[in-house]
Amino acid sequence: MSDLIVNVAVPKPLRATFDYRLPDSLPRPRPGARLKVPFGSREIIGVCLGVSTEAATATPLKAVSAVLDADPALPADVLALVSWAAEYYKHPIGDALATALPGYLRAGRQLQDLYERWWRACPGETGQIPARATKQRAAFEALSRAGPQTQSALRAQGFDNRVLDALAARGLAESTDAPPAPPTATRDGGLELTAEQATAVDALNAAAGDFCAHLLEGVTGSGKTEVYLQVIANVLAAGRQALVLVPEISLTPQTLARFEARFAAVGAYHSALGDAERARAWDGCKSGRLAVLIGTRSAIFVPFKDLGFIAVDEEHDGSFKQQDGFHYSARDLAAKRASDLRIPVVFGSATPALETVHNAESGRYRHLRLTARTGAAAPPRMQVVDLRGQSLSEGLSRTLLSALKSQLGAGNQGLVFINRRGYAPSLVCTSCGERSDCPRCEIPFTVHRSPPTLRCHHCLAQAPIPNVCAACGFDGLRPIGFGTQRTEAALVSAFPDVPVLRIDRDTTRSPQALEHRLAHIRRGQPAILVGTQMLAKGHHFPRVTVVGVLNADAGFASADFRAPEHTAQLIEQVAGRAGRAERPGEVIIQSYDPDNPLLAALIADGYQGFARTELTHRRAAGLPPFRAMALLRAEAAEQAPALEHLRTLLEPIEALADVERWGPVPAPLARRANRFRTQAAVLARSRTVLGRALNLVLERAASIRRRNVRFSLDVDPFDMV
């Protein structure tokens, strides 16, 4: 009799899978089931990829220690999606699967342990409990008085399992599993749709039952979410489930509340949740108890019982692309998953990524538009203020200050956007010109005021603010440039009677802190919001009638080919926060380069005009989306070996037709925490050609060992720094 051989993916950055022998004592696992296997000197949790009777190698095999899932943790469709993604992004399958599993399951725990036992009192008398058993008496009284309670609630009152089991043995208490959640339901019918919304909802409803991708283009506040809600109501009525992907920052309690107000069984999935909560949401979708999941990037891998619809909101947002480890794009995988499942998917944005615009223009995606804001009149007026030769007050132009003054005076709110947190982006000696740099990255330290420190935004190093110049000893060090803290201080002194609310990563470490500030703004009293790009995401501020954009157009001049796109999105998104019918918005863009053609295109023709112009450039330059791109990165303690490593890896593809290589060169931020960073790009006519080229690169990488160089591969890179 031949043994069964199990092929296992282990959670290691290894490009191999491993065969194990299945002992007769263990059940035959199905693909996607978790297994406990010996690996090195430890036991680890892997995922079963398949079972066969033949091993790939002749060496004696170790045995599987345990089969953890009878019902595979990863159902076939998710296993296929992750395998496809691992191949497409050239990431080791074991590590990709580990990314897809919630931490709770990765740790080998069982889903049924997630659910609390509930205890309730049975009819009986305290007198049945001996007087010395005071805990049992107290527990019985608590249960009789307060009704059913969870085991952990009882433990918090000092009643442990021993006490409860003793009560149960006396027939005075009993326990049950958590009651199942109520059946999925829609609570109300939603708003009366505008004509454009109705067109979009009809198109999406009509697409049900087959794969079809849609771009839903509409500014913030134009009613995209209402479109998702009404389509989802239809999906649920057909007995199916829906997945809504949102950027990290916009999964606020308010967003969730809006879905919960409409639907009965809504779950959330994001990194701020604890392991058990995440696993509960995951299991809720898999078992069908949840009807709708609102989640960030990794929710794309959550299994569903019967997924019928995917929406990706703010689809241009960078947080959908994982920037380290498994470099997947949840947005792009949403299209893949929808196509696998033959269901509709919608990508919503006011400023769609150029890839998505291109997909819509070439007819691959259906293009739906919401051009009017619900209940709103004209789009905001944009004007550029030429800063050249102007004297500014702490970085603020007279034009902006007087617009703020008159709008605040009229009872409205203002918003000032500056894409840099901290007080000032550098500290410079006024005598010798020496700049305080992060010694590990050789870029300027950012000055912070609360608390006072120098911080490197690149490697997170911190240093005290020096009193004298390290180079010449002079005591006149001056912060140069502006960050949110400095602009906040300037606004406080210009408008002492108006609250100034700063929104950046330093003031909103928790979702609650962000929500608190947003709630303040929603109350509608005069106030000024000052902040970074966090302001540009997802929120609508109807009382804001004036928006100031400080120096944002500097991004048009970056070395990163995507920088113009991201800059235009940022400006358009910030501008789109403002105004509604009775209070039209005014946007003031401060610029030292007011004639920049990209800025001019954006002002004159809006984001769509900009996108057309920029796509023409991309086509001419052979850049994505017109060619497929991957970035090879190498990092080392010195620059030369990192560059050399990339050069070696590129050798096998030197002669390939249809493949172009750029570099290797030092990365735009060439050093980080004393490590030198280098990169090279590979561009190919198609994704298939790119994939083949990258396989050759990886083969070469596997054949050489350069211990001190860290190499990584990023397919469809989101940014180039």
Q: Which residues bind ligand ADP (CB under 6 A)?
A: 191-194, 197, 218, 220-226, 374, 540
Selection from ligand ADP, Zn ion, none that 222 binds (CB < 5 to 8 A by kind) is ligand ADP
| Structure tokens given for 502 | 């700063």
Amino acid in position 169: A
Alpha-carbon separation of residue 638 from 181, 591, 631, 706 (angstroms): 57, 38, 20, 13
| Structure tokens given for 442 | 């050789």
CB 244 within 8 A of CB 345: no
* Between 539 and 645, CB nearer to ligand ADP: 539
CB 675 to Zn ion: min, Å: 10
Residue 122 near Zn ion by CB under 5 A: no
CB 102 within 8 A of CB 275: yes
Residue 667 near Zn ion by CB under 5 A: no
In terms of Cα–Cα distance, which of 615, 588, 583 is closest to 603? 588
Residue 256 near Zn ion by CB under 5 A: no
Of 413-442, binders to Zn ion (CB under 5 A) are 438, 440-441
* Between 411 and 439, CB nearer to Zn ion: 439
CB 264 to ligand ADP: min, Å: 19
* The pairing of beta strand 544-550 with beta strand 413-418: parallel
Q: Kindly state the DSSP code that residue 186 receives in the 8-state scheme.
A: B
CB 529 to ligand ADP: min, Å: 17
Selection from ligand ADP, Zn ion, none that 458 binds (CB < 5 to 8 A by kind) is Zn ion
Selection from Zn ion, ligand ADP, none that 276 binds (CB < 5 to 8 A by kind) is none
Selection from Zn ion, ligand ADP, none that 221 binds (CB < 5 to 8 A by kind) is ligand ADP
* Between 260 and 506, CB nearer to ligand ADP: 260
Q: Kindly state the DSSP code that residue 12 receives in the 8-state scheme.
A: S
* Between 196 and 504, CB nearer to ligand ADP: 196
Selection from ligand ADP, Zn ion, none that 679 binds (CB < 5 to 8 A by kind) is none
* Between 339 and 426, CB nearer to Zn ion: 426
Q: 303: part of which helix (H) or strand (E)?
A: none
CB 219 to ligand ADP: min, Å: 7
* Between 166 and 459, CB nearer to Zn ion: 459
Selection from ligand ADP, Zn ion, none that 218 binds (CB < 5 to 8 A by kind) is ligand ADP
Selection from ligand ADP, Zn ion, none that 459 binds (CB < 5 to 8 A by kind) is Zn ion
β-strand partners of 18: 8
CB 509 to Zn ion: min, Å: 20
CB 559 within 8 A of CB 720: yes
Selection from ligand ADP, Zn ion, none that 122 binds (CB < 5 to 8 A by kind) is none
* Between 555 and 579, CB nearer to ligand ADP: 579
Selection from ligand ADP, Zn ion, none that 194 binds (CB < 5 to 8 A by kind) is ligand ADP
| Cis peptide bond upstream of 148, omega within 30 | no
d(CA 48, CA 7): 6
- 85-90 LR contacts (CB < 8 Å, sep 24+): 85/326, 85/328, 85/333, 85/336, 86/326, 87/691, 88/687, 88/691, 88/715, 89/326, 89/327, 89/328, 89/713, 89/715, 90/630, 90/691, 90/694, 90/695, 90/698, 90/713, 90/715
Length of the chain: 721
Cβ contacts of 577 within 8 Å, gap of 6 or more: 220, 415, 535, 536, 539, 540, 541, 544, 547
CB 216 to ligand ADP: min, Å: 9
Selection from Zn ion, ligand ADP, none that 192 binds (CB < 5 to 8 A by kind) is ligand ADP
* Between 224 and 457, CB nearer to Zn ion: 457
CB 579 to ligand ADP: min, Å: 13
* Between 347 and 445, CB nearer to Zn ion: 445
| Cis peptide bond upstream of 344, omega within 30 | no
CB 315 to ligand ADP: min, Å: 12
> Which position among 4, 66, 193, 459 is part of the footprint of Zn ion (CB under 5 A)?
459
* Between 48 and 441, CB nearer to Zn ion: 441
Selection from ligand ADP, Zn ion, none that 456 binds (CB < 5 to 8 A by kind) is Zn ion
CB 188 to ligand ADP: min, Å: 12
CB 262 to ligand ADP: min, Å: 11
CB 380 to ligand ADP: min, Å: 15
CB 221 to ligand ADP: min, Å: 4
β-strand partners of 435: 428
* Between 151 and 374, CB nearer to ligand ADP: 374
DSSP string covering 652-686: GGTT-TTEEEEEEEEEEEEEETTEEEEEEEEEESS
Calculate the CA 59 to chain-centre distance.
Answer: 43
CB 313 within 8 A of CB 279: no
Q: Kindly state the DSSP code that residue 601 receives in the 8-state scheme.
A: H
> Which position among 456, 534, 601, 649 is part of the footprint of Zn ion (CB under 5 A)?
456
In terms of Cα–Cα distance, which of 255, 217, 230, 522 is closest to 372? 217
* Between 81 and 438, CB nearer to Zn ion: 438
Angle at 82 between CA 76 and CA 86, to 5 degrees: 140
In terms of Cα–Cα distance, which of 559, 560, 558, 573 is closest to 610? 573
Q: Which residues of 9-35 are buried (b: 16+ CB within 10 A; e: fewer)?
A: bbbbeebebbbbebeeebeebbbbbbb
Which residues of the shown chain bind Zn ion in the complex (CB under 5 A)? 438, 440-441, 456, 458-459, 461
